[in-house]
Every structure is written in structure tokens, then in C-alpha cells.
């Protein structure tokens, strides 16, 4: 019970920080819409709807990267992470709370982005929406983990996409599969499996990222 209370307090803090600073969510929104416009011109006339579905996933992954790059900036600026690590809460609560906050931002960006996508390109199937929701879980859990890693290194922003993209490739495969095939069941199941597997791994390993 204490664990959940810790997660709640930490996640609430992250949402409050975003509410004050208002920099992550607006930039994600602008970015994703700008990417759609770029895609329109990057797709030659006569390109299939399937190509557009694939590009939706590129947009989601890169928009998420934008948000993930900001995730641990408040902790890094004043080395607040030291204080969180010293607090008696389980260290994985820091990761879980940050994942929840990132999930909220990414979800909020997609609530706008998906209808815009449907408007600009072709409609959206339910399986795409389900795929996006499931992939978001994986993107946010793994991405937050990688984001925490990146801030403790010298390379920082540079390292985040390099570590994250290879880990996100299975998510893109599952997501695109769910968007373009007629029977998306197995792709959605795969996304769910990825979420569970990597969430467990991140949960167990996070402590080693923040303490020596």
C-alpha cells in the first residue's frame, strides 16, 4: 500500500511540474502534427494507405522520444534524483511514477494526434487505436528506463534514441501489424507480451540505474 502511495505522490509531482512548466506536452503536440505534414509530402501520390499506417508509427515513436528526452530533466537539473534515491521508498517507484506521467503526456498528445491523422490521411481502425494504447505502455516503461539511464551518462540526449530505438523495433512491428492486417489479434497479444516482459525487467533493474 505504501508503494502505491509513493508512486501516487511521485506521479502527482510530475504532472504538477508539467502543469507549471508547460513545455513537454505542447512541444509533443506541435511536433506530431508537423511530422504528419512532412509525411504528406514524403508520400508520393498513389502511395497506399498501408504506407501511411506505417508512418503513423514512426510519428508516435519520435514524438515519444521528444517527451522521454524531457522526462528526467527536472531531476537532473538540481540532482534531485539523489534525494529521491535516499528517500525510503522503493527505487522502482520512481520509475513507475515517471512512466505513468510519461504515459499521460503521450496519451494526451495522441488524443489529438490520432484524429488529426484520421483527418489528414485515412480513417483509423479500432485495432490501430488498441495497438497504440498497448504500444504506449511499452514505449513509456522502456523509454523512461532508458531516459533515466541517459541522464546519468555524459552523452545524455544523444544516447536516448540510440538505446531506445532498437528496443522499440518490436513495438513498431507489433503496432504496424495491428494496423494493417485483417486479424490483428496476435499482434495485439504480442504487444501485451512485450509490455509485461519489459515492464517486469525495468521494474526489477531500475534500482541499479540510480544507485551504485
Partner 1 sequence: MIEARNVGRLFGDKRVLRGVDLDVPRGGFALVTGPNGAGKTTLLRMCAGLALPSEGELRVDVTRERIGFLAHDPLVYRELTALENLDLYGKLYRVLERKERVGMLLERFGLWEARHERVGAYSRGMTQRLALCRVLLHDPALLVLDEPYTALDAQGADLLDEQLDELHGDRTFLVSTHDPERVERFATTRLVLA
Partner 2 sequence: MRRAHRIPLPALAVAALVLVVAALVLVFFVAPNDADQGFSQRIFYFHVSIAFTSYLCFGAGAWKALRHLWKRDPHADLESYVAVHQGVIFGSLVLLTGSIWAKISWGHWWLWSENQLVLFLVLFLFYAAYFMLRFSVDPGPQRANLSAVYALFGVVLVPVSFMAIRLAQHFIHPVVFTRHGAAFGGWILVAYLVSQAAIIVLAYTLYRVELAGKLLAARVRELRLA
What residues make contact with partner 2 under the rule CB under 8 A?
A: 149, 152-155, 158-159, 162-163, 165-167, 169-170, 173-174, 176-177, 180-181, 186-187, 190, 193-194, 197-198, 201, 205, 208-209, 211-212
Select from 189, 134, 188, 194 the least CA-distant residue to 169.
194
Which three three-digit cell numbers place residue 190? 504480442
Q: Which helix (H) or strand (E) holds 171?
A: helix 159-180
What number of chain residues touch partner 1 (CB under 8 A)?
25
Is the alpha carbon torsion for 67, 69, 72, 74 positive or negative?
Answer: negative
Please identify which residue in 5, 42, 119, 152 interacts with partner 1, judged by CB under 8 A.
Answer: 5
Q: How many CB atoms lie within 10 A of CB 41?
A: 7
Q: How far is the CB of 34 from partner 1 (least distance, A)?
A: 26
Cβ-based nearer residue to partner 1, 11 or 35: 11
Which segment (4-12, 40-48, 57-65, 140-148) binds partner 1 by CB under 8 A?
4-12
CA distance 91 to 86: 9
For position 154 contacting partner 1 by CB under 8 A, the verdict is no
186 binds, among partner 2, partner 1, none (CB under 5 to 8 A by kind): partner 2
Cβ-based nearer residue to partner 1, 21 or 158: 21
Spatial contact of 97 and 212, defined as CB atoms under 8 Å apart:
no
CA distance 3 to 89: 7
CA distances from 5 to 8, 11, 158 (A): 5, 10, 34
194 binds, among partner 2, partner 1, none (CB under 5 to 8 A by kind): partner 2
Residues that bind partner 1 (CB under 8 A): 2, 5-6, 9-10, 13, 16-17, 20-21, 74, 77-80, 82-89, 211-212
Amino acid at each position: 500500500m505504501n508503494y502505491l502511495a509513493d508512486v501516487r505522490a511521485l506521479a502527482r509531482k510530475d504532472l504538477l511540474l508539467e502543469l507549471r512548466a508547460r513545455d513537454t506536452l505542447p512541444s509533443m503536440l506541435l511536433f506530431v502534427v508537423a511530422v504528419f505534414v512532412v509525411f504528406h509530402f514524403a508520400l508520393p501520390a498513389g502511395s497506399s494507405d498501408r504506407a501511411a499506417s506505417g508512418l503513423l508509427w514512426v510519428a508516435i515513436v519520435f514524438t515519444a522520444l521528444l517527451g522521454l528526452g524531457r522526462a528526467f530533466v527536472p531531476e537532473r537539473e538540481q540532482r534531485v534524483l539523489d534525494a529521491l534515491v535516499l528517500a525510503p521508498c522503493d527505487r522502482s517507484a520512481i520509475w513507475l511514477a515517471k512512466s505513468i506521467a510519461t504515459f499521460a503526456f503521450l496519451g494526451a498528445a495522441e488524443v489529438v494526434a490520432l484524429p488529426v491523422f484520421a483527418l489528414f490521411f485515412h480513417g483509423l481502425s479500432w485495432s490501430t487505436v488498441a495497438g497504440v494504447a498497448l504500444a504506449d505502455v511499452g514505449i513509456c516503461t522502456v523509454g523512461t528506463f532508458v531516459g533515466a539511464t541517459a541522464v546519468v551518462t555524459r552523452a545524455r540526449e544523444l544516447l536516448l534514441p540510440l538505446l531506445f530505438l532498437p528496443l522499440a523495433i518490436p513495438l513498431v512491428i507489433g503496432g504496424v501489424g495491428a494496423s494493417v492486417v485483417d486479424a490483428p489479434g496476435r499482434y495485439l497479444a504480442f504487444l501485451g507480451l512485450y509490455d509485461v516482459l519489459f515492464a517486469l525487467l525495468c521494474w526489477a533493474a531500475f534500482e541499479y540505474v540510480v544507485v551504485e
